[in-house]
Chains A and B, each alone.
Chain A
Amino acid sequence: MIAKELVVIGGGPAGLCAAIAAAESGSRVLILDRSARLGGQLIKQTHKFFGSENQYAKTRGFDIAKILLSRVDTFADLIEIWVEATVVALYPDKVLTVVQDGKYIKIQAKAIVVAAGASEKFLAFENNDLPGVYGAGAVQTLMNVYGVRPADRVLMVGSGNIGLIVSYQLMQAGVKVAAIVEAAPRIGGYKVHASKIARLGVPILTSTTVLRAVGETCVKQAVTVKLDPAWKPIPGTESVHDVDAICVAVGLTPLTSLLAMAGAMTSYIPELGGYAPILTDEHESTLADVFVAGDAAGVEEASSAMVEGRLAGLCAAKRLGYPHADFDDIVSECHAQLAGLRNGPFGCKTCAGIAKMREVRDHAR
């Protein structure tokens, strides 16, 4: 068993900011990430970020990853990094089991920040398991991380920000986007993203969904259908698209499996993307000294994930006896930034989710 002070699970925007904030406070930190490089999903975000300067607005996602990693590098004496290290178990006594290089390693942590991120939701339709039906994020990973052209012609399912952004990036990679279909009567993501695609001639078909994928060994066609106001398919409105890939961008769900395994309380909160952990305002779960930040705490934007990570890192470090010199100021600044990011019509969904989470929390007390 290896003893560690603070263990951060996940080296994405939330985890990196948690590690930086904890190291700034004076804590020793171990970052665990299952992939070969840190940065989480930032490394495939080639678009400029929204938000304010505090969250690196107008900087492209992969450049934000570089900024955060260079900050991590300045704490080389305090921050230790293990990559290709998958946390496969978390126990209530803060023992973690990590698989690295085929070996199981047990770690006893004093405090933990779970920043495991989220996974893509799936959609039920005929033949949805055919090769060529991809999560939109997977396509983004293929083209932007590995430089592999994912397909020739794509149907995008879902018009949230991920569906819109990935459609645009597919076009930048020279892939034809046949259409974006959206089951709701309105486009889900930012209209500025939608406008970028509309002016390039890609139709965004609202009140429309994918009915089935066609093909024997891989996708050859996609059949879409219009939906009535009750979201029921309207017979006779099917149309066939010749595509070799169907991208599913129907949202993300928090990765809470480790928290659930350790017995931390979670609750089904649709506004936060599914089962979300019950947290204090300092982002501590119902397990003492186990904090949660980023999409694992409820699906949102990377900008808020970074602020949440900072908050959780500061609070975890304080718990370990390393209060930051400006702890109170930075914590209230983090809360102010989060409130600012969540103030608009898009943020109100998150606020509703957090309100529900707090209700569950207060009821449980």
Chain B
Amino acid sequence: MKQEIPFTFDGVPMTGRVGDTVASALHAAGVMKLSSSIKRHRPRGFYCAIGNCSSCHMIVDGKSNVKTCVTPLRAGMKVETQTGKGVVR
């Protein structure tokens, strides 16, 4: 079994595995909804998994609009659901 990587999703502790992206770890943990549409707030999962579409934008370590499907999972990452267009800090 590959080494586990701890992270949090909306404050809930979770674990992924070495080689995971943020989105693949979430999917393996049963999290289907990654973002929501900007106007009607419809749930969105990932679509392309290679960084082309924008269906998997989330807040990672405080940064908005992170393409979680191509962002390697790192220990201690704080992953949060993003609403709206996100905030540039």
Contact = CB atoms under 8 A, between A and B. Distances in A.
The answer to A–B direct touch (Cβ < 8 A) is yes
A137 B33 contact: no
B48 A120 contact: yes
B44 A138 contact: no
Interface residues of A, number: 30
Given A146-B20, A146-B24, A150-B27, A133 B47 contact: yes
Contacts of B45: 130-134, 218
A36 B32 CA distance: 23
B52 A120 contact: yes
A327 to B, nearest CB: 34
Contacts of A139: 49
Contacts of A217: 32-33, 43
A255 B43 CA distance: 26
Contacts of A267: none
Interface residues of B, number: 27
A35 interface: yes
Interface of A: 34-36, 41, 84, 86, 102, 119-120, 122, 129-135, 137-139, 141-142, 145-148, 150, 217-218, 255
Interface of B: 17, 19-21, 24, 27-28, 32-34, 37, 42-53, 63, 69-70, 72
Nearest 8 pairs of A and B residues by beta carbon: A131-B45, A138-B49, A146-B24, A119-B52, A131-B32, A141-B49, A148-B28, A218-B32
Given A102-B63, A134-B46, A150-B27, 8 more contacts: A119-B48, A122-B47, A132-B32, A133-B45, A134-B45, A138-B46, A138-B48, A141-B50
